[in-house]
Structure 1
Amino acid sequence: MDLESFNKLLLQSVGVGLAVFETNGQKLIFSNERFERWFGERTQGGTLTELFPQINAEKMEKRLEGGRAYSFDCELKTGMRSLSLSVEVTNRAMDSQEVLVAECQNVTKVRELEYMIQSYSSMIEKQNRDLKKEKDRVEKVLLNIMPKTVYEEWRQFGVTTPKRYDDCSLLILDFVGFTEMAITEDPAGLISELNDIFTAFDRIVEQFGCERLKTIGDSYIAVSGIPEANPDHANNIAGVALRILHFLKRRNRTHHQKWECRIGINSGAVIGSIVGIQKYVYDIFGPGINLAARMEAQADGMEIVLCEEMRKRLSPLFEVEEIGLRDIRGFGEKRLYRLLASDEISLHD
């Protein structure tokens, strides 16, 4: 075999598609078997730009004049198949004349793999976004049923330790005649109003540095000094109670449905803990919350009732009115008071 035959055989057997074009006119001079199989009849008298219409002629000329290769990717239809080709055009010398050589590599499988990787990455990113969204939703729900510090402990360790709080204040609110309202009024409209009112209560509670513990039906329970200690817990919870009544009085002036509530406030010891295994809830137990519930039961509509021990904890800036001695179930005889106003909030008409 002579050298020329050997070179032709070598060009036919390489794993890339090779084509040689004239520098002037860019007419096809030679192509190997692989190139002809890909391009078929288009190789007959074709030119470089006819075979590769996606070529940027100006950009290619600048790169070739600078002694650099011009590379691009193209899609090629061959019957029912579609090939992805990576093409590199270079200036070469052949038989003492300059020619353009196009080397074409079939990168279809590489592109398919890249597409699969990209699709998989996009899917993973979407799953991560969905997981984060779900995690944020669950976290928001959990933060609505337990204080943040309790949630952080539960998230980190999987359990929480029941804690005793000796220095805290509590508020229990219940609406007057809610059961009758629920029967006679439009249920959807009534619950919508209740949600609006509780949302306003939450803002008031946050304004005074307190925390809404939970709602049970139409009952609303807020705390101060739990789980973070607060030396001003009694004044804060009293401020919340006054602001809530002030809000309801103003609201009732402009709304058809009148909402009246009873509020009991108290300072005392409680134990706080998460209860439940499948359904979690953070709750408090002890004499402090029990006496607050008894105070709420002693109140009339739009009244805030507290006992003498709570009154002694309040700042002199709060105005109270004595109700008298009452026998309180489980606590014996207690002197009770109505909370009327503070230096900032007045309930006097």
Structure 2
Amino acid sequence: MAHDVTGSNWRGSQAYRKGVQETVKLRDQAIAASSVGIVIADARLPDMPLIYVNPAFERITGYSDAEVLGYNCRFLQGKDTSQPAVDQLRAAIKAGENCTVTLLNYRKDGTPFWNELTLSPIYDDGNNLTHFVGIQSDISDRIKAEQALRLEQEKSERLLLNILPKPIVDQLKQFEGSLAQQFTEATILFADIVGFTQLSAQMSPLELLNLLNQIFSVFDKLAEKHGIEKIKTIGDAYMAVAGLPVANDHHAEAIAQMALDMQQAIQQFKTPQGERFQIRIGINTGLVVAGVIGIKKFSYDLWGDAVNVASRMESSGLPGKIQVTAATKERLQDKYIFEQRGVIAVKGKGEMINYWLVGKQK
């Protein structure tokens, strides 16, 4: 009976050793067949040289094991060692901790690739750091796809910002409440090119459109310079507002300065007959509601009595003049020069005392 037990133990021991050998063999086969690069570095030696690389590492980097064993794997970084991820990697190595970083690395032939590297420490039974195991993947295709997607998103963002103010774009993204908002005070500008209707009969539609585009592009730059929100163009009319969508206390001054600059800017354009253009400008200050309505072809627009009055200031004005209401003059009289036009009848408002904005006080 004792002999049988000894034999059984021996056979069990043999089977165990055979099982361990098979497991080790399978492990080595799995590492060799892996599609991700696997490296082992000796943390006990200076400069942490590589002591093992699997075939996938060779395929990804182009380096054979004979070319890299005994060297630190920083050679993959090429000359670019200033990447933030490198600092993160060094800190993890110093602390003996796990980390995952994305590095721009270079193959043996010099071609770049994006390497997602996960580094894991190995400690012995005495809790001493002995090795690091690195798992790396070539994620260049993913990075390129993400970059392409980001570029497309940036294009879409720029296009959207050409249509709507940034705060409204942000609100649309987050679907936060109503997109219409009331502003206690804003200053609205309407401008109209004098004689443009007659000019349209003298030029081809394409020539007319090109000229109008040049003029409005100059106005757009002035709006950007003065922090003014362009609302829209209607034919040869130009509409802008200051004081929204982000409220500020200098809306009247910004519009006044833009109006004066528009008068100067229009002088650089001439009709086919060589005559200089003139514009009528109307300005008013007051309460408005601004926002986006509807579900298609979004457009940021303004509503309210103050908007209507500003439009009347333009239509009842004179060529080359900037007509403003008393409400606007009141906010600018300490900084700008005005001439009283007198009492005029304004459609829908009756008689109003209006003023010409002449210039800025020195």
TM-score tier after normalising by the smaller chain length: 0.5 to 0.7
SS in 1 for 2:345: strand
SS in 1 for 2:247: coil
Return the match for 2:154 from 123, 136, 140: 136
In structure 2, what is the equivalent of residue 218 of structure 1? 236
Residue 257 of structure 1 and its aligned partner are, at CA, apart by 6.1
Quick check: 1:177 aligned with 2:195?
yes
Structure 1 unaligned regions, length at least 5:
1-67, 74-85, 89-119, 345-349
Letter in 2 for 1:136: E
Residue 198 of structure 1 and its aligned partner are, at CA, apart by 1.5
Quick check: 1:231 aligned with 2:249?
yes
Letter in 2 for 1:294: R
Deviating more after overlay: 284-293 vs 124-133: 124-133
Q: Which whole-Å deviations, capped at 9, do the CAs of 1:36-67 have from their partners, x for residues lacking one?
A: xxxxxxxxxxxxxxxxxxxxxxxxxxxxxxxx
Quick check: 1:149 aligned with 2:180?
no
Residue 253 of structure 1 and its aligned partner are, at CA, apart by 10
Change (3 A) 1:209 1:72: closer
Quick check: 1:259 aligned with 2:273?
no
TM value normalised by structure 1? 0.60
Deviating more after overlay: 249-258 vs 273-282: 249-258
Letter in 2 for 1:150: I
Q: 8 Å contact 2:346–2:352 — kept in the other structure? A: yes
Residue 156 of structure 1 and its aligned partner are, at CA, apart by 1.9
Change (3 A) 1:127 1:207: same
Return the match for 1:199 from 205, 217, 239: 217
Q: 8 Å contact 1:176–1:260 — kept in the other structure? A: yes
Change (3 A) 1:128 1:184: farther
Quick check: 1:336 aligned with 2:362?
no
Q: 8 Å contact 2:271–2:277 — kept in the other structure? A: no
Larger Rg: 1
Q: Which whole-Å deviations, capped at 9, do the CAs of 1:208-249 have from their partners, x for residues lacking one?
A: 222212222222111111111211211211111111101212
Separation in 1, partners of 2:331, 2:65: 85
Residue 207 of structure 1 and its aligned partner are, at CA, apart by 2.2
Return the match for 1:276 from 294, 298, 307: 294
Within 5 Å, give how 1:19-168 maps onto structure 2: 124-157=142-175, 160-168=178-186
Q: 8 Å contact 1:154–1:160 — kept in the other structure? A: no
Q: Which whole-Å deviations, capped at 9, do the CAs of 1:303-346 have from their partners, x for residues lacking one?
A: 111122221111323111121111111212101111111136xx
Deviating more after overlay: 144-153 vs 127-136: 127-136
In structure 2, what is the equivalent of residue 317 of structure 1? 335
Separation in 1, partners of 2:330, 2:306: 15
Q: 8 Å contact 1:170–1:221 — kept in the other structure? A: yes
Q: Which whole-Å deviations, capped at 9, do the CAs of 1:240-276 have from their partners, x for residues lacking one?
A: 1111101212444999463221110010110011122
Separation in 2, partners of 1:195, 1:183: 18
Change (3 A) 1:122 1:312: same
Q: 8 Å contact 1:235–1:315 — kept in the other structure? A: no
In structure 2, what is the equivalent of residue 96 of structure 1? none
Separation in 2, partners of 1:225, 1:283: 14
Return the match for 1:242 from 260, 266, 270: 260
Q: Which whole-Å deviations, capped at 9, do the CAs of 1:134-182 have from their partners, x for residues lacking one?
A: 3222222221222111111111226643111111101011112223323
Letter in 2 for 1:170: I
Structure 2 unaligned regions, length at least 5:
1-50, 57-63, 67-137
TM value normalised by structure 2? 0.58
Within 5 Å, give how 1:10-21 maps onto structure 2: none
SS in 2 for 1:167: strand
Separation in 2, partners of 1:272, 1:143: 16
Letter in 2 for 1:146: L
Return the match for 2:306 from 276, 288, 293: 288
Separation in 1, partners of 2:147, 2:273: 43
Residue 188 of structure 1 and its aligned partner are, at CA, apart by 2.4
Residue 122 of structure 1 and its aligned partner are, at CA, apart by 6.0
Change (3 A) 1:341 1:252: farther
Q: Number of matched residues?
A: 244
Separation in 2, partners of 1:127, 1:185: 48
Deviating more after overlay: 122-131 vs 198-207: 122-131
Change (3 A) 1:321 1:209: same
Q: 8 Å contact 2:290–2:301 — kept in the other structure? A: yes
Letter in 1 for 2:279: C
Residue 121 of structure 1 and its aligned partner are, at CA, apart by 6.0
Change (3 A) 1:312 1:254: farther
